Amino acid sequence: MEKSAASTELQGPRPVLGRDSVQVPDDQDFRSFRSECEAEAGWNLTYSKAGVSVWVQAVEMDRTLHKIKCRMECRDVPAETLYDVLHDIEYRKKWDSNVIETFDIARLTVNADVGYYSWRCPKPLKNRDVITLRSWLPMGTDYIIMNYSVKHPKYPPRKDLVRAVSIQTGYLIQSTGPKSCVITYLAQVDPKGSLPKWVVNKSSQFLAPKAMKKMYKACVRYPEWKQKHQPHYKPWLHPEQSPLPSLALSELSVQHADSLENIDESAVAESREERMGSAGGEGSDDDTSLT
């Protein structure tokens, strides 16, 4: 298992909200993220059904920050399989119907890279994209993957998409047995837009639970799929397999939300198509997935 590269290759302050310089998270950052995933104080439970729970956290009324936490029990999915699914970008293109485009850009250390992801938002909202510094760390039988937004000189904001900002987003995967685990998804995101209330409600009551269930189905199907698609290729476990070019941290800068255009979508009404999709039940697989 890979040790956090940050503790041996990079020195500097831990990344925190309002960070001014790009840093690869160190072991203490991973511990702090895990603690927040497990924390209960300050979170309001908005959904709990069939092994999936969703919490939201109150934020300042004058800010557009979206903070949500989802947890799902996976009774017949090993932790290492879920970890592979979250890393496998080619497989994600198969199961994540919400993805528009996703690709890895460059490698920073043995357990950190930079990547691009764009996704569909509920109609008629504008679609979003992000550039993130992603880092990961196995912790015994548990795993953490987390990211935050950065600026890359070759990938500026696009006119056809709204550049969102991940302040801190990630997954905590905790093994509960040889063939079972629990995953917690924690996201603090600035969508760069004054979103209508129905978006926030729909995210916590419908989209997030549905996305977790879709992820679970993808995990169940992954072993069979992977056997047919480069079964031994897992650069997140074997860094020597990575084809990505190396990139110096100095080439990146922190993506601050206030440097991006704010899109006011607060008056946008939910489309009839989206309303019908929500009414269709949580079991369908044609809607939004987690980022």
The closest alpha carbon to 288, from 115, 128, 86, 78, belongs to 128
What pLDDT score was predicted for residue 28? 92
What count of other Cβ atoms lies within 10 Å of the Cβ of residue 7?
Answer: 13
Cβ 127 vs Cβ 121: under 8 Å = yes
| Whole-number pLDDT of residue 134 | 97
Structure tokens at 88: 């496998």
pLDDT at 281: 41
Taking the CA of residue 193 as centre, how many other CA atoms within 13 Å lie in the half-sphere pointing to its CB? 22
Q: Does residue 133 surpass a pLDDT of 80?
A: yes
User: For residue 24, what are the CA distances in angstroms to 15, 68, 187, 266?
Assistant: 8, 23, 18, 35
List Cβ neighbours of 125 (8 Å cut-off, separation of 6 or more). Answer: 193, 195, 199, 265, 268
Q: Provide the b/e sequence for 120-152 (b: ≥16 CB within 10 Å).
A: ebbeebebbbbbbbbbbbbbeebbbbbbbbbbb
Cα end-to-end span (Å), the chain: 25
- Report the distance separating Cα 111 and Cα 25, nearest Å: 10
Cα separation, 226 vs 216, in Å, equals 16
Q: What was the pLDDT predicted at 83?
A: 98
| pLDDT of amino acid 62 | 42
Q: What share of the chain is helix, strand, coil (3-state, %, to 5)?
A: 25, 35, 40
Position 59 scores a pLDDT of 61
What per-residue confidence (pLDDT) applies to 271? 58
The residue assigned the tokens 């990938």 is: 155
Which of 185, 196, 24, 45 has the alpha carbon at shortest distance from 112? 24
Confidence category of residue 89, pLDDT binned at 50, 70, 90: very high
Read off the pLDDT of residues 134-158 as tens digits, 9 standing for 90 and up: 999 999 999 999 999 999 999 999 9
Looking at residue 136, its pLDDT comes to 97
Q: Look at 273 and 211; give whichever has higher pLDDT.
A: 211
- By CB atoms closer than 10 A (0-12, 13-18, 19+), residue 157 is middle
The pTM for the full model equals: 0.83
The helix/strand/coil state of 7 is: helix
Higher pLDDT, 7 or 143: 143
CA angle 164, 29, 4 (to 5 degrees): 105
pLDDT above 50 for 9: no
Q: What is the pLDDT of residues 20-62, one digit of tens each?
A: 789 999 999 999 999 999 998 889 898 999 999 999 886 654 4
Strands 99-109 and 193-194: unpaired
pLDDT, position 230: 96
Most confident of 40-44, 162-166, 222-226: 222-226
Confidence of residue 7 (pLDDT cuts 50, 70, 90): very low
Q: What digits encode the pLDDT tens for the residues 230-257?
A: 999 999 999 999 999 999 999 999 988 7
Cβ–Cβ < 8 Å for 153, 53: no
Tell me what percent of the residues of the chain surpass a pLDDT of 90.
57
More confident residue, 1 or 222: 222
pLDDT band at 190 (very low <50, low <70, confident <90, very high): confident
Q: Mean pLDDT, the chain, as a whole number?
A: 82
Q: Rounded CA gap, 181 and 220, in Å?
A: 13
The widest CA-to-CA distance across the chain, in whole angstroms, is 53
8 A C-beta contact, residue 246 and residue 14: no
pLDDT tens-place string over residues 95-124: 998 899 999 999 999 999 999 999 988 777
Q: What percent of the chain has pLDDT over 70?
A: 76
Identify whether the C-beta of residue 35 lies closer than 8 Å to the C-beta of residue 174.
no
